[in-house]
Homo-oligomer: A and B are copies of this chain.
């Protein structure tokens, strides 16, 4: 069995490792177009901030650990074409050679590429040494060189999603002034606006000059970088600029062999990660995401890529019982001293999906107020008005309030199709320095039940009559 994998990031390596675990004799080859297999892309902001002391530390596993497992790494090698009939990969290596690889099963794990928003001059700008994307280890090293060499005192960031906010924190910690621009009304499109607003205030309090509802219309680079803006201040200038406006699935190789595309233009796969083309699977940021509440969607994340890759590795070797169960949209990000997390659907997502959510917002203590250091967690909880099924939870709190694992309790309940009432029944852990007898999530559930059982308030007219 010869298994070829295109792509050396989370999905590709997870597939390779799982295949190796299941079959010691399989020939497993990972082809990647850079020299950074199995790197944690999510860690790049912490390398730039200096919290991660050098970029090689970002490797989940070293090259020696991977090859020691009998996984062949073809680095700096670009796949030019897939031959789906002859079962070959036609490649171009950085040494000028054109290797041809034979495969019995192929996993496409080409990931995603940065989305370039329609900004005049952007394509030219990113070719200068002042405007950066932050998607690969090469990108990170180039930006790090710029930070070291040009010692910028002011940076512009286009985009305020997860990575954008982590970068704003990283640069601020390096005493670089940050001006950040987000076209949408709020940062973090995936988080409920109520919590996003709270986080915006926190970021601003840390010195980030945040402008939401503001599009960058053009970029000009000379000795500095200038953004033309859609409103308020007509221009903004900085020594460098970073473009973090999201990603799009890299589907070029897959479509060249006729793979079908699905949600958001990502490669369609079934829950076994099969593309429908004989012998060819796909996984990771290049494929659609099965979502337990939304059906076929596109939510590229490392956690999901690992799970999809693991399944692709199993299925490629003929172990086909395990199917991808699907995500519920669980996400978390630390921004300065706060952590915001979500699972399931936000209120507006639930409504857009045609559900009928009731949502409460409440502030609760992370542990008994009488014990020092109690922190407030803001929780938004949505449930279905008719069935009371839990639909989603958003949380915001300081790092010590364990929001990052509290959201996992909600995510786990959601995945068992729990009702809001069933949250109250959960036997959860309590000790005064770390919790409350009714856990914050349970108190939120009780408030939800109180709220949903009250008759709808009369309209002002009705009340008057």
Contact = CB atoms under 8 A, between A and B. Distances in A.
Contact of A327 (B326, B372, B427): B427
B437 A306 contact: yes
A42 B334 contact: no
A20 to B, nearest CB: 13
Given A332-B429, A402-B405, A370 B306 contact: no
Contacts of A411: 426-429
A427 B370 contact: no
A43 B432 CA distance: 6
A294 to B, nearest CB: 12
Contact of A51 (B333, B372, B400, B422): B372
A322 to B, nearest CB: 7
Q: Most B CB atoms within 10 A — which of A306, A328, A400?
A: A306
Contact of A415 (B40, B334, B372, B426): B426
Contacts of A306: 437-438
A142 interface: no
A218 B58 CA distance: 60
Contacts of A404: 402, 429, 431, 434-435
A433 interface: yes
A344 to B, nearest CB: 10
A409 interface: yes
A368 interface: yes
B58 A427 contact: no
A418 interface: yes
A425 B321 CA distance: 13
Contact of A427 (B303, B421, B424, B428): B303
B43 A370 contact: yes
A32 interface: no
B431 A307 contact: no
A346 to B, nearest CB: 15
A200 interface: no
Contact of A429 (B343, B425, B427, B437): B343
Contacts of A40: 368, 370, 432, 437
B437 A10 contact: yes
A329 interface: yes
Interface string A2-38: 0000000010000000000100000000000000000
Contact of A425 (B325, B406, B418): B325
A383 to B, nearest CB: 16
Contacts of A327: 427
Contacts of A416: 412-413, 415-416, 418
A135 to B, nearest CB: 16
A421 B52 CA distance: 33
A42 B431 contact: yes
Q: Most B CB atoms within 10 A — which of A303, A343, A408, A425?
A: A408
A306 B425 CA distance: 11
Contacts of A422: 325
Contacts of A330: 427-429
A241 interface: no
Interface string A427-447: 111111111011100000000
A208 to B, nearest CB: 18
B429 A302 contact: no
Interface of A: 10, 21, 40, 42-43, 46, 51-52, 57-58, 60, 162, 292, 301-304, 306-307, 310, 322, 324-334, 339, 341, 343, 368, 370-372, 399-400, 402, 404-409, 411-413, 415-416, 418, 421-422, 424-435, 437-439, 450
16 contacts: A21-B450, A40-B437, A43-B432, A51-B371, A52-B371, A58-B370, A301-B430, A330-B428, A332-B431, A404-B431, A405-B429, A408-B426, A411-B427, A412-B412, A412-B416, A415-B416
Given A307-B425, A409-B409, A415-B426, 10 more contacts: A43-B368, A43-B371, A332-B430, A332-B434, A402-B402, A404-B434, A407-B429, A408-B428, A411-B426, A412-B412
| Closest CB pairs A-B (n = 8) | A416-B416, A405-B405, A332-B429, A325-B425, A404-B434, A412-B412, A327-B427, A57-B370
